Structure formats: C-alpha cells, structure tokens
Chain A
Amino acid sequence: MVRELAEAGVFGVAVPEDQGGLGMGLAAGGVIAEEVGRVIAPEPVVSTIGLSLGLLRRLCPDHPKMAQLIGGEISLAVAWQERGPDGAPADATCRYADGKLTGGKAWVVGAIGSHGFLVVAEQDDGPVLVLAEADAQGLVIDKQTQADGSSLGELSFSGTPAAELASSGAVLTALAEAVADATALAAAELVGLSERAFEITLDYIKTREQFDKPIGSFQVIQHRAVDLNVMCEVAQAGVREALAQMDSETDPKVRAPIASRAKARAVTAAKKITRDAIQLHGAVGYTDEFDIGLYLNRALVLSAWLGDDAYHRRIWFEAREAEGAAQ
C-alpha cells in the first residue's frame, strides 16, 4: 500500500517541486490526510509527509534518502521526544559524539518496520540531526502497543553509530516547523476519521429498529446526530482554513499556533464524535464485531500523538498572549 501511495505522489505532496515533490503545500496534504483518516489506514502517511520529509526538506534537501522517501522505497521514523524519570516528556539528553548515539528516545511513530531513524540529539556545540540505521549496533527498540493496534517505539542507543545530517540551531527550527506541519496534518486525519465515523453512525441509526421504528426517527437521537454533524463541519472548515493559512505564512511563530488551533478543534470533534458513535450504536458498538470501535481506537491514538485538545488550547493561548505582549 505504501508503494501505491507513493506512486500517487502522496508523500511528496508538500515537498517543493525543485526538491522532487509535488509542491502542492499543506492544504493538499490535508486532503490526503483526510482520506487516510476516513479509512483509518495504519500507514505512517502523515508522519512521513509532516515529520520525516518535513525535516529533511528543510535541513538537507539534497540527501538521497529524500527521493527514496518520496518514492515510498523506505520509511524513516523521526525520534525527537524523550521520556523523563516520571514518565512524562522531558528535555533532550540523548548525546551524539564521535559518530555515536547514547541515550533514549520515546513516542516514535512508525518505529516498527522503519528502515532507519532520524534522531534529534545533542552534541557539544548544540543540536544535531543524525541518521541511524534500523539494524545499527547498540539500538534496542521497545514496542508500546497502541489502542488501534499500531505501535510507538521506545528507542535506546548505547554507542549506536549514526551519520550526521545537519547541526546547529537550524535543527530545532526545522523540527518545530515539521512538528507544526505534522500536527496540522494529524488534525486533518482526525477530520476525515470523524466524518467517516459519523457517516457509519448515521447509516446505523437509519436502519437499526427498536419499538418498530428506526431509532433515527426518535428526536433525541436526531438532535444528537445533528450536533455531531455540526461539529464535524465546523472541524472540517476550521482545519482546512488553518492548513491554507499555514501555506501562506512563513513565520514559524505564527504557523505553530495555527497548527495548534487545528489540532485542538480536530481532537475535540473526534473525541466527541467517536464516543457518541459508540453510544448511538448501543451494545454492539462496544464489541469488536463492528467497525465503529476501530474509529474510536484510532481517534485515541491520533489525539494523544503530538498533543491533545487541552494541550493545544494552552499552546494556542500562550502564543496569543505572547503576540499581544509583543505589540
């Protein structure tokens, strides 16, 4: 499936044309992400478009891995977050010296089956982006199984050889940009997921009969369905507008809160819609016989990844305050 997606140009959608991509921007990427969301595809489409290619195209657009990623020949997982002693996200301490990595990385999407890792680490004179092969020496990958059956990787490096791709402050800037892109695309994926979950539920309440009538003829069900539909439409309009704004905006300080706005909206909508979808299905919604539960599970994973709605509202508000203070 990854090859088919690659042939359709999916992975290179937001990569400029002179770098071998389609140059269609995030808005087009969002349309693809919505489709991925609708079919709850487990493929790392958004993480490849947003994170892996987002980093490479900004830091080393001439690297041969770029073309391979766009062509779907390989996948590279991005390892940038770290887990602190209390289990929560913590500052980066993973070290890179003498061509070797030491330390750990957490919450790595697409780690299982990846051909290698783009690792953001620290070296003596600042941040660095390095590439570690999947089978490199001293690399241990622990699997954290997710609600939707996918896995997040917990990586530990002990003197693991890795090749430097880029260094200096530009790495963190590019990382922040790539994370913003992936955040907004994950929002679009959630929008597609929400729409499909709603359609499935709507079909169900039209056909499921109780008291000799379709349950969708009861007003209490109808009004709940309408509210979910409205929520879906608001989310789609808000997220699409946000992606388009990100395309026309270059200042990272402005783009980041736009991505937060998108993710906050999409998570709020997806949580409500997938949970209400279970309720409207009744008992069968709680079984694995029906697809609707898969949407709930996928929504849980996509919501937690890169920050949920409460987190992004906080980020959005803080950015707004900072902007207000600057004026």
Chain B
Amino acid sequence: MTDWSAMTDAEFRKEVRQFFEAEYPEELRHLPHRPKFAEIEHWHRKLHAKGWVAPAWPAEFGGMGLNAAKLLIFYEEQQRWGVNRGRDMGVQMVGPLIIKFGTQEQKDYWLPRILSCEDIWCQGYSEPGAGSDLANLRTRAEIDGDDFVINGQKIWTTMAHDATHIFMLVRTDPDAPKKQQGISFLLAPMDQPGVEVRTITTLSGETEFCEVFFDNARTPRENLVGELNKGWTMAKALLSFERIFIGSPSLAQNALGQLESFARGRGAFDDPVFRDRFAQAALDVEDHAALYARFADQLKRGETLGADVSMLKIWVTECFQRITELMIEAAGPDGGSIGPLQVGNVSVDVLASFYKARPTTIYGGSNEIQRNILSKAVLGLPG
C-alpha cells in the first residue's frame, strides 16, 4: 500500500495525472451524460485494481486515505482530464456514513461491495413535498418483525434505474416534536416487488433522474445505519467536503474553453459587444478560481471550512450558466439546434452545455437556499 502522505503535493499531482492520462479511456473523456455502470465498467475495474476507487476513505477500509490537500488534487486532476466520477454515490455518500456510524458487521459487509461496485447505490433523499425543505420528508419506515416496511415516494433519485441499492432518509417517528427529529438512515435493496422505478425525462431528453415508489417494500432491521431517529444529523455531517467540491471552478473553466473555440470559429469575436461579454465571463471564472484557491488553502492547512464556502457554488454555477448562454448567442441561428455543431475541427454541443448548466443552480441546495444559509450563518442577519 502506498503511503501518500510521504509524497509532496506536486509529486502526488504528477502521479495522479500520469495515471489518468495513460489509463483513462479516451472515449469516456468529458462524457456529456451520466453513464450507466456497464458503460464505464472497464474503467472502474482499472481503478479498483489500482485501489483508487475511494480516495477519501481511510486506508484500513480500502480507500486511499488522502488528506484534504491531496483529495482536492485528486478531484482537480479528475476534472481536468474529464474523468467521469462513475457511479460514486456509494463511495461518496454511503461509505463515509457507514465508516463513521456503522457497526462492524455493516462495515465488513457493505464497504468491499461498494468498492467493487457489486452494489450500485442511489440516493433517496428528495420527495415531491421535500425538496429544499428536505426535513419535510414523509416516506415512512415501520418496524415489522425483523424488517422495516417502507411506504412512500422518492424523487430526483439520480440513476435509480441502474442501481441495486438505495440509501434513504425515512420517517421513523411521525410524532417527533421537530420534523428534523424522527428521521432515520436506511439501506434497502431495489430488486424487490415493493419497489418501482420510473425514469423522468429532463428538458435535455436525458433520463438520469427517477421516481422511486415504495409499496410495502422491506429491508432487514440490520440495514439501519446509526441510531434510530438520528438520520438527519448524520446526513448533514457528511456535507462539509461536498460544499467546496460543488463550488470548484472546473465546470465553468471547461465551458469557457468550449465557448472560446466555438466563438472563435464562428467569428463572434469580431463583435465588440461579444468580446466584452466574453471578457466578463473569463474574468468571472479567473477571479472565482482565486477565491476557490483561498478556501482550498484553508483545507490544506487542516482548517475546517465555514458556511461561507457556499459562496463558491453560487458564483460558479451562475457563471457557468452565463457562459453557456453566450454559446447560444454565438451560435446565432443554430442556437436552437439539438446535437453537436461543427466549427472547423471542433464540435460543440451548444444546447447540451446549456441544459447541463441549468440544474446546477438547483441541485446541491438551490442557490436561493445557499443565500439563506450565507445570510444567517455568515452575515448574521435575523430571522
């Protein structure tokens, strides 16, 4: 096993970069959609053989055991090379929760299966009546003998149609005084009669989101992670690293590169108005990267990030949207055309980028929710 901490950050970056550049399949670079597991299975096997599936997990559980600085480098290199994250809900969400709150049996059973992708996970949090107000969730789980019996509905469950298991927040005590109480964290198999998955077609024509219906679905009682009715605080505890990751500059940087080559090919830079708007967008990305570096340095010094890190997500997602809107502008009469547009030797799917940018201000806590958080936790504004 490699002792990553013995390596300098620069050496580590080089090692990661070399591996991605040498081993990552060219046809999977910068995938415009979320792949099903079968599509990326050959890459996952390589990653698994290398022991790099779970960069954040401690080495004793089969992870790379990276510190915050190296973890950030790993993700930066991943994004730089357009390496798909794969079906990483298990690695990113369930695994850390089991490691932190699970029993020894749960660790022994689930963690290796997450790493090998023998189990593929989806996240059952949102519900039709519980989006931004997640604590309002109503899906019930009741104890019946050795099982929990689950009834209710989840929505926006990414790639549920290609998952073997779901980790979910469920209501286990409907009479709790506060709605954040009485919520538990439960694991359940998808392949059973009481679970029905329907895909949702998005504006871009993709079907990566699903609805999942539970009609007396069952899961063994030992699939409760952590204490009964303590799921809310557990799930929240996981989000700290996620919040800088979701604000990383890479999406906007990649889109800016696309915009530039497309606009250049189309002659859009002949227009001084376009030039100024491009310069604005490019500087928005550059200055965001400076702010991101400030937070990243905080992490690298071993400090815990505060709520103010949410500002990265607000800025970069809105910037990403403006960049993709400029692409449509540069496309002129082709701005409504589906599919790749050829410009010289570059091909750019203008609408795919535009659509990809839309939900970024909605998911991961909508930008309005982020503003609420900053307003209270950082600015100290009342009520």
Contacts and interface: CB of A to CB of B under 8 A. Distances in A.
The answer to whether A and B interact is yes
Given A219-B372, A223-B375, A314-B275, 18 more contacts: A206-B380, A214-B382, A217-B383, A222-B372, A222-B379, A223-B371, A226-B375, A226-B378, A229-B378, A230-B311, A237-B290, A238-B287, A240-B290, A241-B287, A261-B283, A264-B283, A313-B279, A317-B275
Contacts, number: 92
Nearest to A217: B383
Q: Which secondary structure dominates where chain A touches chain B?
A: helix
A216 B311 CA distance: 19
B61 interface: no
A234 B315 contact: yes
Contacts of B276: 310, 313-314, 317
Contacts of A310: 276
Interface of A: 202, 205-206, 213-214, 216-217, 219, 221-223, 225-227, 229-230, 233-235, 237-238, 240-241, 261, 264-265, 310, 313-314, 316-317, 320-321
B295 to A, nearest CB: 9
Contacts of A321: 269
B113 interface: no
Contacts of B311: 226, 229-230, 233-234
Nearest to A316: B279
A261 B282 CA distance: 10
A265 B287 contact: yes
A237 B294 contact: yes
> Looking at B287, B288, B290, B371, which has the most chain A CB atoms within 10 Å of its CB?
B287
The 6 closest A-B pairs by CB, nearest first: A238-B287, A217-B383, A222-B375, A237-B291, A241-B290, A237-B290
Contact of A238 (B290, B314, B379, B383): B290
A225 B380 CA distance: 11
Nearest to A236: B291
Contacts of A237: 287, 290-291, 293-294
Interface string B364-378: 000010011011001
A264 B288 CA distance: 14
A221 B276 CA distance: 30
A235 B287 contact: yes
8 contacts: A213-B383, A217-B383, A222-B379, A233-B308, A234-B290, A240-B290, A310-B276, A313-B276
B382 A206 contact: yes
Contact of A261 (B275, B286, B375, B383): B286
B291 A222 contact: no
A240 B287 CA distance: 10
A226 B369 CA distance: 11
Contacts of A264: 279, 283
B24 to A, nearest CB: 27
A206 B383 contact: no
A320 B264 CA distance: 14
Interface in B315-332: 315
Contacts of A240: 290
A216 B383 CA distance: 9
Interface residues of B, number: 30
B116 interface: no
B288 A234 contact: yes
A48 B362 CA distance: 48
Contacts of B378: 226, 229
Interface string B161-179: 0000000000000000000
Given A225-B379, A310-B276, A317-B275, A230 B283 contact: no
A227 to B, nearest CB: 8
Contacts of B286: 238, 261
Contacts of A313: 276, 279-280, 283
A8 to B, nearest CB: 27
Interface in B244-301: 269, 275-276, 278-280, 282-283, 286-288, 290-291, 293-294
B378 to A, nearest CB: 7
Contacts of A316: 279, 283
B228 to A, nearest CB: 35
B38 interface: no
A74 B375 CA distance: 47
Contacts of B278: 317
Contacts of A216: 381-382
A225 B375 contact: yes
A261 B284 CA distance: 10
Given A217-B383, A225-B379, A310-B276, A230 B287 contact: no
A219 B375 CA distance: 9
A223 B283 contact: no
B92 to A, nearest CB: 26
Interface string B344-379: 000000000000000000000000100110110011
A99 B55 CA distance: 72
A321 B279 CA distance: 11
Contacts of B280: 313
Contacts of A317: 275-276, 278-279
A319 B287 CA distance: 17
A261 B289 CA distance: 13
B279 A314 contact: yes
A240 to B, nearest CB: 7
B368 A222 contact: no
Contacts of B287: 234-235, 237-238, 241, 261, 265
A212 to B, nearest CB: 12
Given A265-B283, A313-B280, A317-B278, A222 B290 contact: no
Contacts of A223: 368, 371, 375
